[in-house]
Amino acid sequence: MKPNSQITWHIIGNGTGSLHTTAKQRTVRFNQPSNLIQEADLVISNKFNSGITKSFELKGIEPYKNFTEALYHKTLILEQQLNAWPSLGLTTILTLQDTYTKISLSCMNLLPSISRTKSLPNRKPLPCNYHNWLGERRIALQILHKLNWPSFWLSKTSDLSPAAKDPYPTLISLPSYPSKEGLKKIQELNLITESSWIYYATEEYLKKVESLFLLQRNHQQTTNWWLYNYEASLLMTNIHRHLALAQQLLYLQARF
């Protein structure tokens, strides 16, 4: 389909950040309550708003004819690339980007917190854990130069020297440890400096660790027990961000 250079679509995530839309832009929001749908030109929702269903619904202005079909087709492609059902955010970006040349984004960085709250039942997963966020950011990095997406970028928080020991082998081996011993390993990894994760990062390492932050739908068992553990999930959230930053910097280094 021929790109449309006259319309700018502004995709608004459900995260924090500044929102700067203009009257000339059409807006997209996700999983909004019915009473807020009128605030966007298009609302795309998971059918049961659970984050793990394989269907969704659209309300509002569709960007072009057969957009719904194109969106679903894109999810199937991304599912193969990510080994997980993709988020509505990334799927919408790529589906719109196929046709529209002007896309802006706010309040979304494809890195939601995986930290559990104490009130969450022990066996109840966080819906965001069914998405491969490191994988999604890996794919998004390839098209960032075409998008106006300031909220995507992560900033370094520390300039401490890297550790002498590479932390990635220990992180990758976490599924082999029982939870008690594994928690100690996670506590130790959480003390590793941000600079260490950046210094030792490789493309191979970063792709291997994607699966550590992911639950597979329809699977009753997982070795990623830290996604169900309150303390471990808090610590792994910090590590998750370090990895995303390392991934970002590794990509920029290769590009420039």
Domain stop point among 93, 108, 123: 108
Distance CA 145, CA 134 (A): 18
**How many structural domains comprise the chain?**
2
Domain presence at residue 194: yes
The answer to whether residue 240 scores a pLDDT higher than 80 is yes
Pairing of strands 25-30, 4-12: parallel
Pairing of strands 56-60, 100-106: unpaired
Q: Find the domain containing 214 and state its range.
A: 168-255
247 or 55: which leads in pLDDT = 247
Going by pLDDT thresholds of 50, 70 and 90, the confidence category of residue 24 is confident
pTM score over 0.85: yes
Domain presence at residue 81: yes
Pairing of strands 4-12, 56-60: unpaired
Question: pLDDT at position 54, please?
Answer: 66
| Phi, psi of 221, deg, nearest 5 | -120, 150
The DSSP annotation for 81-92 comes to: HHTSPPPHHHHH
Secondary structure element (H or E) that encloses residue 231, with its range = helix 230-255
Q: What is the pLDDT of residues 227-236, one digit of tens each?
A: 999 999 999 9
